[in-house]
A and B are shown apart, each in its own frame.
Chain A
């Protein structure tokens, strides 16, 4: 959005410190608008696609009888993981933190836990 480092940008930049995280993006879960990115943007994923994907999964899960709202989605290929986290927010439309992870460099369980914890701090 500009050259100045904002609170949001700083928040996302910090996520790149986690081992194996190659790119992150904070996306509006409804509109698909990307509010900020850090690292490799392509790794984090395209905003509209991310939101559409998460919405579709939430809907299908709901239709299948799952209770509660979607918390995360993990997609794994032979080389990488792509993770979507719901970001807790006091009000307003939900947000998604999208992260690309290098599969050779992360322990998935640890990375999920760490990113999941930190997703809630992105808006702090």
Chain B
């Protein structure tokens, strides 16, 4: 049954009917591993989006040492969630939200480019959402996200390649006092070189959420796109912030502006994670 499925959603739907527990490895860029438990999607690991683990650790909700101790005490990642809750490191409902959000975000990230082939393997331990997400729900939500981004911005695949920069002197009416904290964090992260994916990993947030925030912030004239006007949106070198004034005038009166800028940038060729074709034309829900 599995090899004959016409796309990943159809494959997952078939595996749901079978109550399959195991892992589906999807090749491609970014590709990823989909962890199924009783036919439900418990976790997806892809280079295209932060995992639940990454979200938990980057946000500081669970400290690194606590995390390592928990992993040592409960080596089976499938049972790690229960252990984290039992140890009082995180609430069960909170963990459920984090894991579920990560599953939907990873599915979205994988859908941004056409998938390659897939193969099934035995269960590989993973930090899974309990009980997991219905494949049909995952497909519908992914389609909705693609459609919304296409309407708000344009081809979602192209949005993965933009490198937003802060607008010089940005800050609504000269002050960013009313900006939501997450918008301020995004503003502190954009520098004309990072893609939405880089920002998502740096903040431990979902790729889709970061993209939505960037679109909204562009509308508010807080950020601007660096590559939108380039011929095919893929500059051979990372564009620079136009002039020094842009960074010094950045609306970030926080006392630690140097930290994000000083951090080493991800070493990755521009566009290296995306295929050459226009991924925005992908069939709806065809991830």
- Given contacts A7-B91, A61-B178, A92-B55, list 14 more A-B pairs with CB under 8 A: A1-B40, A6-B130, A6-B131, A26-B97, A30-B182, A30-B212, A31-B105, A59-B216, A63-B172, A91-B60, A92-B205, A94-B180, A122-B93, A124-B91
Q: Whole-angstrom distance between the alpha carbons of A123 and B100 in the complex?
A: 14
A-chain residues with CB within 8 Å of residue B61 when the two chains form the complex: 90-92
Check B206 against A1 for contact (C-beta < 8 Å).
Answer: no
CA of A76 to CA of B249, assembled, Å: 43
Q: Is B134 an interface residue (CB 8 A)?
A: yes
Q: Are B104 and A123 in contact (CB under 8 A)?
A: no
- Chain B nearest CB: distance from A86 CB in Å? 10
| Contact present for B59 and A92 (CB under 8 Å) | yes
Q: Report the minimal beta-carbon distance from A48 to chain B, rounded to whole angstroms.
A: 7
Residue contact B137 to A1, C-beta cutoff 8 Å = yes
Kindly list chain A residues whose C-beta atoms are within 8 Å of the C-beta of B92: 6-8
Task: Collect the chain B residues with CB atoms within 8 Å of residue A63's CB.
Answer: 172, 178
Q: Which chain B positions have C-beta within 8 A of A95? A: 97
* Chain B neighbourhood of A61, CB < 8 A: 178
Most buried by B among A55, A62, A95: A62
Bound CA–CA A4/B132 (angstroms): 10
Is B182 touching A2 in the complex (CB atoms < 8 A)? no
Assuming the contacts A62-B178, A91-B60, asked whether A31 and B93 have C-beta atoms less than 8 A apart, the reply is no
A-B interface contact total, Cβ < 8 Å: 100
A8 touches B178 (CB 8 A): no
Within 8 A of B (CB), among A65-124: 65-67, 69, 89-95, 122-124
Instruction: Flag if B100 contacts A1 (CB, 8 Å).
Output: yes
Type the 1/0 row for A31-74, where 1 means its CB is closer than 8 Å to any CB of B.
10101000000000000100000010011011101110100000
| Chain B 60-74 interface residues, beta-carbon cutoff 8 Å to A | 60-61
In the complex, how many angstroms separate the beta carbon of A92 from the nearest chain B beta carbon? Answer: 6
Chain B hits for A6, CB < 8 A: 92-93, 96, 130-131
Instruction: Verify A55–B216 contact, CB threshold 8 A.
Output: yes
Residue B18, interface by CB 8 Å:
no
Residue of A nearest to B172 (CB): A63
| B137-A67 in contact (CB<8A) | no
* A-B contacts, 7 listed (Cβ < 8 Å): A6-B130, A7-B91, A7-B92, A26-B97, A90-B94, A93-B182, A123-B93
Contacting residues, chain A, for B133 (C-beta < 8 A): 1
Contact call B101/A33, Cβ cutoff below 8 A:
yes
Determine the chain A residues whose CB is within 8 A of the CB of B145 once the complex forms.
31
Return the contact of A58 from the options B97, B98, B180 (Cβ within 8 A). Answer: B180
> B94's closest neighbor in chain A, by CB?
A123
Closest chain-A Cβ to B78's Cβ sits at a distance in Å of: 15
Residues of B within 8 A of A22 (CB): none
| Contact B209–A30 (Cβ < 8 Å) | yes
Query: Smallest distance from the beta carbon of B127 to chain A beta carbons, Å?
Result: 15
A66 to B: closest C-beta gap in Å: 7
Given the complex of chains A and B, what is the CA–CA distance between A35 and B99 in angstroms? 10
Q: Distance in Å from the Cβ of B100 to the closest Cβ of chain A?
A: 6
B144 to chain A minimum Cβ distance, whole angstroms, is 7
B5 at the interface (CB under 8 A from A): no
